[in-house]
Amino acid sequence: GDSVTQMEGPVTLSEEAFLTINCTYTATGYPSLFWYVQYPGEGLQLLLKATKADDKGSNKGFEATYRKETTSFHLEKGSVQVSDSAVYFCALRGVAGANSKLTFGKGITLSVRP
Partner 1 sequence: EPEVTQTPSHQVTQMGQEVILRCVPISNHLYFYWYRQILGQKVEFLVSFYNNEISEKSEIFDDQFSVERPDGSNFTLKIRSTKLEDSAMYFCASSDQTGRPEAFFGQGTRLTVV
Site residues for partner 1 per CB under 8 A: 32, 34, 36, 42-46, 49, 51, 89, 91, 93, 97-107
The amino acid sitting at 90 is C
User: C-beta of 114: minimal distance to partner 1 in Å?
Assistant: 26
User: C-beta of 32: minimal distance to partner 1 in Å?
Assistant: 4
Query: Please, which residue, 17 or 109, has the CB nearer to partner 1?
Result: 109
User: C-beta of 17: minimal distance to partner 1 in Å?
Assistant: 25
- The alpha carbon dihedral of 18, 82, 59, 105 has a sign of positive
User: C-beta of 97: minimal distance to partner 1 in Å?
Assistant: 8
Calculate the alpha carbon distances from 18 to 3, 29, 46, 77 in Å: 27, 32, 21, 6
Query: Please, which residue, 106 or 113, has the CB nearer to partner 1?
Result: 106
Alpha-carbon gap, residue 112 to 66, rounded angstroms: 26
Query: Please, which residue, 15 or 60, has the CB nearer to partner 1?
Result: 60
CA 14, chain centre distance (Å) = 20
Alpha-carbon gap, residue 84 to 110, rounded angstroms: 8
Query: Please, which residue, 5 or 85, has the CB nearer to partner 1?
Result: 5
